[in-house]
Structure formats: C-alpha cells, structure tokens
Structure 1
Amino acid sequence: MKRCHLAYLACTAALVGVGLGAVPAAAAHKILVVHQGESIQKAVDAARAGDTVFVLGGTYHESVKISTPRVTLRGVGPGTVIKPVGTKPAPKPPKTTAAKAAISCAEGGNGICVVGTKTKNVEGVTVSDLTVTGFSRAGVFGMATDGMTVHRVYAVKNGVWGIAQERSVRGLFRDNYARDNGDAGLFLANTIKEEAGAYDAGRTLVEHNRFEGNRIGVTVRRLRNLTLAENYVTGNCAGVFVVGDENKPKAGNVQVTSNRVDKNNKSCPKTERLPALQGSGIVLTGTEKNRVAGNLVTGHAGKSPLSGGIVLFKSFVGVTSDQNVVDQNTLQNNSPADLVNTETKGRGNSFRGNSCRVSRPAGLC
C-alpha cells in the first residue's frame, strides 16, 4: 500500500505575560508538506487560518483554490511546477464544497485561484516560490481578496494572464517573473464581467517584478489608489497600460515610479478593445490624477497609434484624461517620440522636468 507522505509539522508560539502569570499558548500554526504525486488541493482543504502548505519540488498536474484566510501556499522555487491536468483521466465527481470549488477553478482555465465571496473578501492569503504554466486563462487569479501577496512566482506561457486580480484591496505583487503570457503579465482590474466605476485598490503595490514577452507587461484597468514601482518591463508589445473609461468614479490616482521600461517592441495584432500594438512604453488613457515619475523609458519603436515612450492617449470612448503629471523621467531612442500627447481636450495635464529629445507635439521635453 502506498504510504501517505502528507506531513504536519506544528509551529507553535507561546506568550508569557510578565508579572501577570502564564498566558495560554497561542493556537498552533501547521506546515502541511506536499510531496510530488500528492494533492496540493487536499492539503489546502485541510489547512486552517495561519497554516502553510509547503509544496516540495516536482510537477503537479492540478488547479488549486484557496478560500481560507491567512493561508500560505509556498513552493521551493521555480522547481515547484503547477500545470493543467492535461491528458490525465478526468477526476471523479467531487463530494465536498471545497472540491467542487477546485474543479471550477480548473474549468475556468486557472492554475491557482484565491477567491472570496460577494459579501466578504478572503484575507491575508500568500502564494509564493513556485511556477504556474500552461493554463488557458491565468496562472494565478485572485478575486475578492484583501491583502493577497504574490511573491517570487514564475507565471509562464499562460493563455491570457500570468497573474491577475480583480475586485480586491491591499494586494502586494513583489519579485515575480511573468513571461510569454497571452495578454498581460499582470492584470489588475475592478471587474471584468460588468460595466462599473473604478475600484479603490487600497494601496495595492506592484514592485520589483519582471514582465517580459507578454502582449502587455502590466495592465491597470478601472482602478484607483495603486503603485507600480521599480519593475523591469521589457520585450512586450506594450509595457504599462493605465486604462479608464466613461464609468464613475473615474480611473486614476495611480503612481508609476522608478520603473525601467525597455524595448517593448514585440508586434501584436489588434483586438476588439485595442489596435495593433508595438513599441509602447507607458500609456495612460481615460484616467485622471496619475503620476508617472522617475522612470527610465528606452528603445521603443512602432507604428501603432499607441507607439512612443510615454503616451497620453485620447480615450477610445471619448473620455478625457485630466490632471495627470509626467515628470522627471529619462527617455531615450523612442519612436515616433519620447513623449506623445494626443489628448487635446483633457484639462490640467502636465509634462515637466523630463530628459528627452523628441515629443509630439513639440515642446513637451
């Protein structure tokens, strides 16, 4: 009989009150270890708030859904690989609610799903130190989350997004590598299933990531209150998109600072939403009160309407971009120009203190 290798290692912490006598020990937090050939989902289903599911190196053919707060799913690094089931036999009909949820994550084409409910966000979930690849939709997908952390995840060759999150607050995306995904390496949005105003992302932070070879490196859609800082964005069709539309409240209040955005010259055909893309560094459209500052934007070239180093683009739905500040950036060798402003009706937009040579219209450098 095959020996079960699912181990439970208790990590306990005792609190001692000085001068008040002993305080009862805190509830134990467990580490549930998963070996190759075992089910990650089974361990996640057994985890309670504060527990860690530690997945050893190997390839695991499954999708995983997390809905318990403060659970950490951690691998050993790129050698922990999560892939779709593929040609394996279809799983037996699930008997538990958690198992049904995991199947729905897989049927949606996602690798790892972190999902709350319509009335309550799932809090404090961490996904780290693993690879998700080959899923038809997203490698990692979060919805209705509060404080979700995605750290040192390799999201490679997924059909739509490497990492995606919607209707969530206080997210942290740090030290990830998203490469060769069908749409965005990182996609952050209010909601993708309905028309709605911009969602307050609660100081979501995206920092120290690398986005390479995707259609778009990072897309921020219909959100407010978010920072992208010190990321490296290269080899995509477009580097960074901050996008709004006619809904209220308006998208904006996004800080794009100290990023290196280089040679995003891959060519991508047009879609229902966007024209063909090539040679776009940082693009703002239909948004307000953003600041794009201290970025190094170099080597972009293309003939798309959105081509250029930093582009303030007129909205496709006629919404103006207002009160955006583009300052203290260094731009070199971008074509048709380092700075491009096609927003002729917007109010209060400013370009100041940038180091560049060519702008459209002239005079922005």
Structure 2
Amino acid sequence: MTKRHLAYLACAAALVASGCGATADSLPATPGTRTVRPGDSIQKAVDAAKPGDTILLAAGTYRESVRVTTSGLTLRGMGRSTVIAPADKAAANACAKAGNGICVEGTQGHPVTDTTIASLALTGFSKSGLWSTWTDRLTVRHVTAEKNKVWGIAQERSTRGVFLDNTARDNGDAGLFLANTVASEGGATDTKGAVIAHNRLQGNRIGVTVRRLRDLTVMSNDVSANCAGVFVVGDENRPRAGALTVSDNAIRQNNKSCPKTTRLPALQGSGIVLTGAENTLVTRNTITDHMGKSPLSGGIVLFRSMVGASNERNQITGNTVRRNAPADLVNGEAGKGNTFQGNTCGASKPAGLC
C-alpha cells in the first residue's frame, strides 16, 4: 500500500469520527448547515447549497432521487434511520429517470470535488443506490445500499474516491462497483489512489467489482454470501487493468448461485478473481469455504478475460486460503510472471501452487 493510500484512509477516518451520534435537532443551526426533514425536498436544499455547506437529513423516509453537482458539499443523514427510496410519482430529474437514488455528477474537465455522502440508506432503486461520475475525492461513508436492481454504490470516470464503512447487500450486480466507464470500451483509468475499505458486502451478485482501473486499494472488507467476492477485471485494452492492491479482506462462503450473463459465466463459490489484470498484489486475505462448479469457482482464481486476455505479473502472497473447491488456488491460464508465494492453503490447480 502506498503512502498516498494511507493518507486517504487517515483522512477518511477523521471524517467518520466527526459528528457521530448527533441528531438533526441537536446540531446547531450554524451558517452553512441546512436541515431537511421528511416532507421537505432534499433536492431543493442541495440546489440552494454552496460549496462547503452541509445538508443534514433528519431520520425518516424520503421518496425522491437527488442529483448533486456542487463541489465541497456534504449530504449526511442519521444513519440507517434516514432512508431514501424511489418516488411514488413520475421521475422528476435526470438521476431519478436513470433509476438511481443519489447521483454525484461532474463533467469532463470539471469534476465534482471534495463532496461527501454519509450516514443514510438507499434502497429499492431500479439501477443504483448511489451513482457517481466525473468526481475527484468523493467520500462515501456509512451508507447502506440494499435491494437495488443493479449496483449498490457505483462510480466511473473518477479519481481519489474513498468508500469507507458502507454496507451493500442484496443488490442485483455488485455491491460496490468502480470502473473506468460503463458505456464504452477503453484502457484502464488511473484512480490516483482510490480506497475501498472496511465495507460489509453481502448477498450481492459480486461483492466488489473493480473494472479497468489502476492504482487503488481494496482492503479490510467483510465479503460473504455473494455469488463471488472480489473481481478485478481487465481485457486487452491499454493501459491494462491492475497495479493495485487487494489486502487484508475477510472473504468467506460466497456460494450464492447466479446465472450467466453476456460478460460472465454462471457464478458460484468464487473468492477473489483476476481476469486480464497485471501487477496486482493480492496479500494477507483470508478466503474460506467457497464451493461451486463455475469456471471461476475457487479461493483465488486467475482466469482469462472474456476476450481472452491473460493475467500477467500478479503476486499472490501471504494469504490464508482454506476449504475452497475445486481448489484454494486456481491458475486457469498460461499467463506470464504470476507468482504464488507464502500462502497457507491445502490444494491448488495445477498442483504445486500451495
């Protein structure tokens, strides 16, 4: 992990420590703080806000979608008791029309910067609970995203994001999804040190998907009861996906069964999967009790991408990988320079990797 990654984690931890345990009524009405209560419009408060303002959401259910285009804004609720759900009436803004709960949207060359979404729940949207694009230093913390039909929390075309202490469960695709872009092919984007840490990911198709990205850390997450735990996805485009770290995660019993899609075979029993990635460090993870008959089943699996791109120069080291079937370590290709060292495991395909 780089010093930059550690600096972002320290910064995010400081943010988490601020304001914990407060309620909407107990916080002072200081300049720059706008309080919204059920029945009020969150969108109106966001539209009236200036950089540096905090929008504080009282406990209750808000039936709307919220589009954030202002830098330096904090949108914060009271935890899981602050719920944002789909509107009962027709979609009112572009975020709602796209099927998302909260959208943080900049534009090319003009990203939304230093904005925070915190301490609220997003549930039941037809696409994503939270969607962000063209952002820099977006922080998403203590957000619960559940039962959204595609992604729980998703981001594209962005840099230096921090995703910390969130819960994503029972979403149709990935609980947490970070990509270069979802609308077109292309080489991997340098995230400049994005961090996905201390999240709980349960009951999704995939816990965490990192697609065509470089320079980020996935660490200390609790990942269970998905069809697959963590996917690092690349292909033949350049620059290639990789140059990232997956470390210190607890990944167990991701044995839910999911049907095949146009991009992936049927999934079941996958811990960590690398496809078409390079220079990725997978270390100090605990990966246990996976079982399935998918080509991608196993504890840690290296497999060619959907277009046949191989994994190259990845390091699989110092992991505890136990009771996974068909094997704890699976190298299902002939990629160059991949190394397996110092792992605690019982069986591998091919033999000799443990």
DSSP-derived class of the 1:36 partner: coil
DSSP-derived class of the 2:50 partner: coil
Query: Which AA in structure 2 matches 1:48?
Result: K
DSSP-derived class of the 2:191 partner: strand
Find the aligned partners of 2:289 and 2:244 in 1 and give their Cα distance. Answer: 24
> Where does residue 340 of structure 2 map in the other structure?
351
DSSP-derived class of the 1:105 partner: helix
> Where does residue 193 of structure 2 map in the other structure?
203
Total equivalences in the alignment? 330
Decide whether the 8 Å contact of 2:198 with 2:221 is kept in 1: yes
Find the aligned partners of 2:151 and 2:182 in 1 and give their Cα distance. Answer: 13
1:79 correspondence with 2:69? no
Decide whether the 8 Å contact of 1:9 with 1:30 is kept in 2: no
> Where does residue 349 of structure 2 map in the other structure?
360
Please say which structure displays the higher CA radius of gyration.
1
DSSP-derived class of the 1:60 partner: strand
> Where does residue 322 of structure 2 map in the other structure?
332
Aligned to 2:141, which of 151, 154, 164? 151
Aligned to 1:178, which of 168, 171, 176? 168
Which consecutive residues of structure 1, in runs of 5 or more, have no partner in the other structure?
A: 12-28, 92-101
DSSP-derived class of the 2:229 partner: strand
Counting only pairs closer than 5 Å after superposition, residues 242-281 of structure 1 correspond to structure 2 as: 242-281=232-271
Query: Which AA in structure 1 matches 2:151?
Result: W
Query: Which AA in structure 1 matches 2:342?
Result: G
> Where does residue 213 of structure 2 map in the other structure?
223
DSSP-derived class of the 1:362 partner: coil
> Where does residue 106 of structure 1 map in the other structure?
96
> Where does residue 48 of structure 1 map in the other structure?
50
User: Aligned-pair distance for 1:109?
Assistant: 0.2
DSSP-derived class of the 2:282 partner: strand
Which consecutive residues of structure 2, in runs of 5 or more, have no partner in the other structure?
A: 1-23
Query: Which AA in structure 2 matches 1:287?
Result: A
TM-score (norm 1): 0.89
Aligned to 1:58, which of 57, 60, 76? 60
> Where does residue 70 of structure 1 map in the other structure?
72
Query: Which AA in structure 2 matches 1:357?
Result: G
Query: Which AA in structure 2 matches 1:77?
Result: G
1:123 correspondence with 2:76? no
Root mean square deviation, CA, Å: 1.4
Find the aligned partners of 2:240 and 2:187 in 1 and give their Cα distance. Answer: 6
Counting only pairs closer than 5 Å after superposition, residues 24-35 of structure 1 correspond to structure 2 as: 30-35=32-37
TM-score (norm 2): 0.91
User: Aligned-pair distance for 1:320?
Assistant: 1.7
Find the aligned partners of 2:109 and 2:320 in 1 and give their Cα distance. Answer: 44
DSSP-derived class of the 1:292 partner: strand
Find the aligned partners of 1:118 and 1:356 in 2 and give their Cα distance. Answer: 46
DSSP-derived class of the 1:282 partner: strand
Decide whether the 8 Å contact of 1:82 with 1:131 is kept in 2: yes
Query: Which AA in structure 2 matches 1:66?
Result: V
User: Aligned-pair distance for 1:316?
Assistant: 2.2
DSSP-derived class of the 1:310 partner: strand
Decide whether the 8 Å contact of 1:9 with 1:32 is kept in 2: no
User: Aligned-pair distance for 1:9?
Assistant: 5.8
User: Aligned-pair distance for 1:343?
Assistant: 1.8
User: Aligned-pair distance for 1:169?
Assistant: 0.3
Counting only pairs closer than 5 Å after superposition, residues 305-316 of structure 1 correspond to structure 2 as: 305-316=295-306
> Where does residue 10 of structure 2 map in the other structure?
none
DSSP-derived class of the 1:305 partner: coil
Query: Which AA in structure 1 matches 2:348?
Result: S
Query: Which AA in structure 2 matches 1:260?
Result: A
Find the aligned partners of 1:119 and 1:174 in 2 and give their Cα distance. Answer: 26
Find the aligned partners of 2:229 and 2:308 in 1 and give their Cα distance. Answer: 23
Aligned to 1:323, which of 285, 302, 313? 313
DSSP-derived class of the 2:160 partner: coil
User: Aligned-pair distance for 1:195?
Assistant: 1.0
Percent of aligned pairs with the same amino acid: 59
Aligned to 2:294, which of 304, 327, 330? 304
User: Aligned-pair distance for 1:10?
Assistant: 5.5
Find the aligned partners of 1:37 and 1:10 in 2 and give their Cα distance. Answer: 19
Instruction: Output one character per residue of 1:299-329: Cα deviation in whole Å (capped at 9) or x when no partner.
Output: 0000000000000112221212110000000
Find the aligned partners of 1:208 and 1:193 in 2 and give their Cα distance. Answer: 29
Find the aligned partners of 2:198 and 2:338 in 1 and give their Cα distance. Answer: 28
Find the aligned partners of 1:147 and 1:167 in 2 and give their Cα distance. Answer: 12
DSSP-derived class of the 1:363 partner: coil
> Where does residue 97 of structure 1 map in the other structure?
none
